[in-house]
Amino acid sequence: MATDLLSASAQTPPSNSGTPLSAAEIPAAVAEILASTPIVDIHTHLFAPAFGKLSLWGIDELLTYHYLEAELFRSSNVTPEHYWTLSKSAQADLVWRALFAENAPISEATRGVVAVLKTFGLPTDANALAEARAFFGKQTFESHVAHVMQLAGISDIVMTNDPLDPDEAPLWLKGILAHNQFHAVLRLDRILNLWPTHWQAVAAQGYAVAVDVSAKSISEIRRFLGDWAKRMNPVYMACSLPDSFAFPSDSINGKLLAEAVLPACRELNLPLSLMIGVRKQVNPRIRLAGDAVGRANLVALENLCRDFPENRFLVSVLSRENQHELCVYARKFNNLMPFGCWWFMNNASIVEEITRERVEMLGASFIPQHSDARVLEQVIYKWANTRRTVAPVLAESYRLLSDDGRAVTRGDIQRDITRLFRSNAETWMKLRART
């Protein structure tokens, strides 16, 4: 099954259409084509408008993004304990003063906020906060979503949906209107990583499960996954995993994965997304900003891809040291699709390195990036950064191809960029074949 997936995405018009480009013409052609190709954003923490307050947007949310909170605690004397007692706007005031007024916003995350303000034609100097608040205060969310997606050059947003989240689950259970540009994902971290403290939440939804993952619990979890798949119509199931992740293993995680989640994915013909290498809450005082990275032993992934050839794995790894191994495994297993430069990897210097290595080893058979946006307007700067970083990497690959003796056309470039930023994801998620 996996074999036809990879070839399917290559079925675009033959490449010899269009005029051969000179080496000097290639960079501009790549930048233009990348700028005009709408992207499928395969992993975000954004919500469609129907999810109401769960959707974060506007300047105060941009400023209290956990990436900026981590930087605030390095550039101010405020203690996390005091910071959490403040209102959202007071927190945002603190972040603005420390990172945008008392210091130049040169980090990737602070520059992102500046880029968003500039995109809306707003001032970006140290006194710009009030005007920004006034601007966002005037927006209506529905039209703002469409405008932001157009500015970011994205056509589809893949959400992260937790069937055990106390705020989100009731919305699904009540019934939520689907949105043709927002796609659901069945996120399983609480089940796969925190079963001993979350089986009760599954039981509370009417499933006869218990802490011991007995055969009865396994079949009830399969039923739970089936019911939520009907409810959410997800494009994949997903889970983040620690750097200590091992497979196969007798752990609850290992058992749930092998006996419940992987069979359910096969039955429902859904890929499983694994995001490997997070060290959760190394500093719990700073909450979401308190997670870190660890190098994982990817032999677990080797075992999964080899022993479950009928399952498709969408994989992103958090550690820089694991990137090369992931590329090599993707050359060994065509049921493995590497995607994105996740979290601490999402910095231009590292995105360039990872993308260059992936093109050299995988051609166009990978998904270069996802935004991981938590606040709507972040897609604007995160995709602008990706386009700015990836275009020269691709252009260099085409310059080398032309140098090595094969003429490069706009058709070639369009086909590869469409595959990298759209059809690899569409095909693996069966995005366009869904009812």
Which stretch, 83-91, 137-145, 352-360, 369-377, contacts Zn ion (CB under 5 A)? 369-377
Which residue's CB is nearer to ligand FIX, number 382 or number 415? 382
Tokens of residue 390, six digits? 């990836």
DSSP result, 327-367: HHHHHH-TTEEEB---GGG-SHHHHHHHHHHHHHHHTT-SB
Which residue's CB is nearer to ligand FIX, number 30 or number 58? 58
Tell me if 28 contacts ligand FIX by CB under 6 A.
Answer: no
CA distance 62 to 7: 40
Which stretch, 1-9, 62-70, 184-192, 371-379, contacts Zn ion (CB under 5 A)? 371-379
CA distance 305 to 325: 14
Region for residue 293 given its phi and psi (left: phi exceeds 0; alpha: psi -120 to 50; beta: otherwise): beta
Please report how close the Cβ of residue 396 comes to ligand FIX at its closest, in angstroms. Answer: 28
Place of tokens 């157009």: 150
Which run of H or E residues covers position 274? Answer: strand 272-279
**In the range 306-345, which residues lie near ligand FIX by CB under 6 A?**
343
H helices of 120-240, in order, are 129-137, 141-152, 169-174, 189-192, 195-204, 215-232
Residue type for position 218: I
CA distance 149 to 376: 9
Q: x/- string (CB under 6 A) for ligand FIX, residues 258-277?
A: -----------------x--
Which residue's CB is nearer to ligand FIX, number 135 or number 343? 343
Tell me if 374 contacts ligand FIX by CB under 6 A.
Answer: yes
Considering only 110, 161, 240, 323, the residue that binds ligand FIX (CB under 6 A) is 240
Applying CB under 6 A, the site for ligand FIX has a residue count of 7
Please report how close the Cβ of residue 57 comes to Zn ion at its closest, in angstroms. Answer: 17
Tell me if 350 contacts ligand FIX by CB under 6 A.
Answer: no
Tell me if 288 contacts ligand FIX by CB under 6 A.
Answer: yes
Please report how close the Cβ of residue 239 comes to ligand FIX at its closest, in angstroms. Answer: 9
Which residue's CB is nearer to ligand FIX, number 41 or number 372? 372
CA distance 335 to 296: 20
Please report how close the Cβ of residue 44 comes to Zn ion at its closest, in angstroms. Answer: 7
Please report how close the Cβ of residue 275 comes to ligand FIX at its closest, in angstroms. Answer: 5
Which stretch, 29-37, 73-81, 286-294, 364-372, contacts Zn ion (CB under 5 A)? 364-372
Considering only 69, 220, 372, 426, the residue that binds Zn ion (CB under 5 A) is 372
**In the range 75-134, which residues lie near ligand FIX by CB under 6 A?**
none
What count of other Cβ atoms lies within 10 Å of the Cβ of residue 388?
Answer: 15
Question: Contact 423/9 with Cβ under 8 angstroms?
Answer: yes
Q: How wide is the angle at C-alpha 6 spanned by C-alphas 45 and 185, nearest 5°? A: 20
What count of other Cβ atoms lies within 10 Å of the Cβ of residue 290?
Answer: 18
SS3 383: helix
CA distance 398 to 417: 12
Which residue's CB is nearer to Zn ion, number 42 or number 330? 42
Tell me if 41 contacts ligand FIX by CB under 6 A.
Answer: no
Place of tokens 């065509």: 334
Please report how close the Cβ of residue 189 comes to Zn ion at its closest, in angstroms. Answer: 10
Which residue's CB is nearer to ligand FIX, number 160 or number 423? 160
* Residue 253's binding partner out of Zn ion, ligand FIX, none, with CB under 5 to 8 Å set by partner kind: none
Applying CB under 6 A, which residues contact ligand FIX? 45, 240, 275, 288, 343, 372, 374
Applying CB under 5 A, which residues contact Zn ion? 372
